[in-house]
Structure formats: C-alpha cells, structure tokens
Amino acid sequence: MAKKIFINLPVTDLKKSMEFYTRIGFTNNPAFTDDTAACMVLSEEIYVMLLTHNKFSDFTNKKIIDAKTGIGVINSVSVDSLEEVNTMADAALNAGGSEPNSPKDYGFMQQRSFTDLDGNHWEVLYMDMSKLPG
C-alpha cells in the first residue's frame, strides 16, 4: 500500500467546510463521511478529514486551538503549475477564505497562502526544479 497523508482539521460547520474544500478542488469520499466527519480527497495520497469539534476531541485530550487567532500548523501542497497555484488560492478566496500573506516568488518556487473558514492555514506552491539555484 502506498503511503498516504491524512490531515485532520477541527471545523465549526461541517457542511460549510465541505463546500469550501469542494470549491478549491477536493472531492468528498462518502464512505468516510457522516454527520461528524467528512473525508475530502485531493489526490490518491492526500486526504483532509474535516471533523466537528466533538469528533476531533475523540482523538486528543488537548484543547482545540482557535486557528483564527493562533496557529499550530501550516499545511502545504504542491501543484503542477503557477496557474494551478492561482486557481486554488483564488477559489479559496471566492469560497470565503482569506489570504494572510502576499504571494511570493522565489524564482524556482511560487507560493500563495490562504486560510479556510476556520482559519486553518494553507500554502499552495509550484516548484520548477530546473530553476533551482546551484
């Protein structure tokens, strides 16, 4: 079995969060979705589990942070072109997210930031390894 990554995020409104992630390019896997959780698929290897706060609390005894005022993780995903960077970031903004940082161009890598409806921070980036400085 190939290695996969499952990012688990606490959300305050599961349906609105599902709509947000759908609008930025994820699809829902109904086999792992119910009234407390939704499995949102970006690729064969990348999944985001959206969990209500009650469901998320089943997995930890720590306090759930308010990602709108604090940060615990930055989720980064690479895409195949600068156009895809802009498509995903613009879709996030149009779906109600925000852009906490201005776009960055490192020559070999372009990057944009966005937050989801709960303030969870994402970076979407495109790397052209042929432009990587020696």
pTM over 0.95: no
Whether residue 67 lies inside any domain: the answer is: no
Q: Mean pLDDT across the stretch 52-74?
A: 95
Whether residue 111 lies inside any domain: the answer is: yes
* Strand locations in the chain (E): 5-11, 27-29, 37-41, 46-52, 74-78, 104-105, 109-115, 121-127
In this prediction, residue 44 carries a pLDDT of: 95
Whether residue 63 lies inside any domain: the answer is: no
Q: What does DSSP say about strands 46-52 and 37-41: parallel, antiparallel, or unpaired?
A: antiparallel
| Closest to 10 in 3D by CA, of 119, 125, 105 | 119
pLDDT of residue 1 exceeding 80? no
Count the domains in the chain: 1
pLDDT digits (tens, 9 = 90+) for 105-131: 999 999 999 999 999 999 999 999 899
Whether residue 61 lies inside any domain: the answer is: no
Asked if residues 49 and 91 have their Cβ atoms less than 8 Å apart, the reply is: no
**Which range marks the domain in which residue 125 is found?**
5-55+73-131
The distance in angstroms from the start CA to the end CA of the chain is 35
Mean pLDDT of the chain: 96
CATH number of 87's domain: 3.10.180.10
